[in-house]
């Protein structure tokens, strides 16, 4: 049986076959392109997720301080030398390479010995004797009590000191007002009761100040304070302490508002930062924000905002003018549209973004950190002994570093934008997008490179949040900002917060003048020197600290 050959295909059939193969090839090419694009998107998502995970891990478990190891600092020096950032050696003078080898070796050995030399301890810390009460104890030798001990002749003495703790306690202050009858008219006279910040309650101004400082200064919640008072023999409920906090905060709010008004009218430079805070709601806690505004040398102010958006922030700081130092958050954009508000950028935030990418792109991260470090070097060199900054010297040293930094960021962002790891483009883009605010510090010697004072002030709330977790209500958050504003302002003026709050809560009920700003920490030392203020305190608090410390318990009848 012979094989039958298949019939030959016609030209039309071959053309149809070729067309189907071309179409199939095009479909495969499109599918490959789609898969490649999907692979790139998944890779970018993976890099972004890994970057976010590393950042979160470092924020929870890692070192909070932005600090490099010694090896990282050496890498910065090598990279900056490759970029020709360091100035060339002067033409005159003998270069280091021309020094004799033994001289160079001796210098190296001296530097090694200096580095290896152990730092001496500071020894026992000296006590500030002016702030601590003293108990004198005389220890006589045993021979003094024996017969003939009176004949011993004293030739000297040895004095040693140690610290002891005296338990804190709550003291009852009993105010007695004798009644008198005038013999001629028969009219009855009696002394007036001194006004108190919490009328018709058991709390005096010193106890109110103690509760406020313990809660807002030492982060001790009210239920723990109630337990401490109970151990001292004074049973106070948490609701009673809460009422005291409310009454005292309402008085202190007058001072806080006066400080805000003074900052708005008289502050040419303000540093601002914010952090989130939870406020208890009927079902779940809602997230609100604390804002702090630092007026250098005058006030540290706090405000609570229910909404963290541009309108709320603009309304809070609507009357502020001058330089406004903050990070590049979008909530400030509406405020920066005002003509009388000038945005100042923060180099600490820019540097932090380079620290975030150390694990992904160490070379670019170290270059960015090193160039920003040169700006801080220029800042330190231009700072005078009194703390003021020579604007011209700082600008002259900073401008070459700024030019190199911006040029390097622009070149790196342009040449490898498509293959750049997650976070690197963000760090480089942040520097370029905010170039004008970041160079604003060249205009005025008062301007800082960063808004770290605001961040440090805000750290007080962040640390306390670990204890109280959330605010009980919006009013509780407002009371927090009032008291913390005064405590933080006391810190920058070197005032002890308990004594300040005690004296202020003593004065406020009888304060007849309208200028409440005199009671703010910035003016308080001068206010307390007035004779009328001293007399007012003596009448409202007719006992001193010595009487409180030496109060005794009455024996039962």
The pLDDT tens digits for 378-424 are 999 999 887 889 999 999 999 999 999 999 999 888 876 566 777 88
For residue 346, the model assigns a pLDDT of 94
The pLDDT tens digits for 73-122 are 556 656 666 555 544 434 434 444 444 445 545 555 555 555 555 555 55
Question: Poorest-confidence range of 170-184, 215-229, 319-333, 524-538?
Answer: 170-184
| Residue of 556 and 89 predicted with greater confidence | 556
401 and 85 Cβ atoms separated by less than 8 Å:
yes
Percent of the chain at pLDDT > 90 equals: 41
Exposure letters 163-180 (e unless 16+ CB within 10 A, then b) = eeeeeeeebeeeeeeeee
What average pLDDT does range 123-129 have in this prediction?
64
For residue 494, the model assigns a pLDDT of 93
CA distance 22 to 12: 15
CA distance 350 to 163: 47
235 and 261 Cβ atoms separated by less than 8 Å:
no
Asked whether the predicted pLDDT for residue 134 surpasses 70, the reply is: yes
Exposure letters 119-144 (e unless 16+ CB within 10 A, then b) = eeeeeeeeeeeeeeeeeeeeeeeeee
As given in the structure block, the two tokens for residue 46 are: 């993976």
Highest mean pLDDT range out of 33-42, 184-193, 320-329? 320-329
For residue 384, the model assigns a pLDDT of 87
The pLDDT tens digits for 307-326 are 999 999 999 998 899 999 99
CA-nearest of 382, 373, 381 to 404 is 373
The pLDDT tens digits for 462-483 are 998 888 888 888 899 999 999 9
Asked whether the predicted pLDDT for residue 25 surpasses 50, the reply is: yes
What average pLDDT does range 135-157 have in this prediction?
86
Residues 6+ apart with CB under 8 A from 443: 391
Alpha-carbon dihedral 86, 92, 94, 97, rounded to 10 degrees? 40
What average pLDDT does range 36-58 have in this prediction?
77
pTM summary value: 0.78
Q: What is the mean pLDDT of the chain?
A: 83
What average pLDDT does range 519-537 have in this prediction?
90
Percent of the chain at pLDDT > 70 equals: 81
What average pLDDT does range 434-456 have in this prediction?
93
As given in the structure block, the two tokens for residue 114 are: 């200096």
Asked whether the predicted pLDDT for residue 556 surpasses 80, the reply is: no
CA distance 386 to 412: 40
For residue 392, the model assigns a pLDDT of 93
CA distance 155 to 361: 75
């Amino acid at each position: 049986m012979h094989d039958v050959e298949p019939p030959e295909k016609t030209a039309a059939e071959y053309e149809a076959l070729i067309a189907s193969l071309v179409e199939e090839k095009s479909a495969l090419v499109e599918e490959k392109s789609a898969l490649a694009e999907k692979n790139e998107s998944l890779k970018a998502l993976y890099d972004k997720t890994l970057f976010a995970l590393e950042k979160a891990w470092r924020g929870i478990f890692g070192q909070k301080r932005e600090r490099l190891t010694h090896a990282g600092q050496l890498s910065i020096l090598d990279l900056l030398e490759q970029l020709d950032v360091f100035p060339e050696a002067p033409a005159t003078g003998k270069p280091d390479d021309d020094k004799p080898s033994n001289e160079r070796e001796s210098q190296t050995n001296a530097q090694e010995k200096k580095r290896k030399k152990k730092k001496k301890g500071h020894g026992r810390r000296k006590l500030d004797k002016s702030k601590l009460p003293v108990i004198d104890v005389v220890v006589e030798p045993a021979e003094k009590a024996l017969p003939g001990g009176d004949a011993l002749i004293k030739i000297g003495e040895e004095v040693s000191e140690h610290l002891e703790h005296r338990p804190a306690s709550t003291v009852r202050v009993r105010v007695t007002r004798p009644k008198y009858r005038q013999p001629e008219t028969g009219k009855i006279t009696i002394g007036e009761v001194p006004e108190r910040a919490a009328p018709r309650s058991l709390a005096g101004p010193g106890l109110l100040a103690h509760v406020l400082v313990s809660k807002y200064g030492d982060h001790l919640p009210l239920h723990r304070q109630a337990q401490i008072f109970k151990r001292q023999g004074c049973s106070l409920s948490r609701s009673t302490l809460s009422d005291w906090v409310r009454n005292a905060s309402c008085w202190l709010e007058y001072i806080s508002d006066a400080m805000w008004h003074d900052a708005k009218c008289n502050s040419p430079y303000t540093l601002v930062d914010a952090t989130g805070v939870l406020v208890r709601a009927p079902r779940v806690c809602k997230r609100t924000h604390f804002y702090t505004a630092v007026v250098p040398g005058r006030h540290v102010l706090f405000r609570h905002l229910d909404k963290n958006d541009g309108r709320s922030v603009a309304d809070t700081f609507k009357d502020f003018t001058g330089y406004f130092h903050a990070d590049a958050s979008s909530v400030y954009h509406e405020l920066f549209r005002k003509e009388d508000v000038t945005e100042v950028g923060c180099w600490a935030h820019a540097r932090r973004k380079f620290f975030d990418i150390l694990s992904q792109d160490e070379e670019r991260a170290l270059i960015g950190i090193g160039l920003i470090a040169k700006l801080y070097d220029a800042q330190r060199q231009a700072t005078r002994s009194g703390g003021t900054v020579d604007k011209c010297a700082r600008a002259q040293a900073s401008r070459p570093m700024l030019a190199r930094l911006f040029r390097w960021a622009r070149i790196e962002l342009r040449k490898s934008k498509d293959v750049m790891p997650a976070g690197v483009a963000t760090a480089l883009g942040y520097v370029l997008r905010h170039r004008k605010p970041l160079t604003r510090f060249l205009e005025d010697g008062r301007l800082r490179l960063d808004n770290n004072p605001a961040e440090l002030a805000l750290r007080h709330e962040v640390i306390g949040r670990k204890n109280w977790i959330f605010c009980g209500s919006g009013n509780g958050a407002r009371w927090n900002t009032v008291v913390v504003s005064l405590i933080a302002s006391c810190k920058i003026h070197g005032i002890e917060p308990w004594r300040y709050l005690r004296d202020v809560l003593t004065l406020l009920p009888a304060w007849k003048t309208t200028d409440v700003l005199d009671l703010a920490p910035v003016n308080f030392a001068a206010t307390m020197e007035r004779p009328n203020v001293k007399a007012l305190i003596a009448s409202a608090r007719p006992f001193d600290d010595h009487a409180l410390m030496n109060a005794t318990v009455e024996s039962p009848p």
